Amino acid sequence: MSILVNRDTRLLVQGVTGREGAFHSTAMLEYGTNIVAGVTPGKGGQSTLDGRVPVFDTVAEAVEQTGANASCIFVPAAFAPDAMLEAADGGLALVICITEGVPVLDMLRVYHVLKQKGVRLIGPNCPGLTSVDEAKVGIIPGNIHVRGSVGLVSRSGTLTYEVVQAMTAAGIGQTTTVGIGGDPIVGTTFVDVLDMFNQDDETEAIVMIGEIGGEEEERAAEFCAREVRKPMAAFIAGRTAPPGRRMGHAGAIISGGAGTAESKRTALEAAGIRVADSPSHIPQLLRDVGVR
Domain 11-122 and domain 140-288 have a common topology = yes
**One of 24, 145, 249, 281 is an active-site residue; which one?**
249
Mean pLDDT value of segment 41-64:
98
The question of whether 249 is a catalytic residue gets the answer yes
Q: What is the pLDDT of residues 266-282, one digit of tens each?
A: 999 999 999 999 999 99
Q: What is the pLDDT of residues 182-192, one digit of tens each?
A: 999 999 999 99
Q: Report the C-alpha gap between 71 and 16 in whole angstroms.
A: 11
Q: What is the pLDDT of residues 110-133, one digit of tens each?
A: 999 999 999 999 999 999 999 999
Q: Report the C-alpha gap between 132 and 11 in whole angstroms.
A: 16
Q: What is the pLDDT of residues 137-156, one digit of tens each?
A: 999 999 999 999 999 999 99
Question: What SS3 class is residue 28?
Answer: helix
The model's pTM is 0.93
Domains of the chain, by residue range, sit at: 11-122, 140-288
So what CATH class is 140-288? alpha beta
pLDDT at 102 over 90: yes
Q: What is the pLDDT of residues 165-187, one digit of tens each?
A: 999 999 999 999 999 999 999 99
Which residue blocks in 40-183 are alpha helix, DSSP H? 59-66, 80-89, 104-117, 157-169
What fold is seen in the domain 11-122?
Rossmann fold (3.40.50)
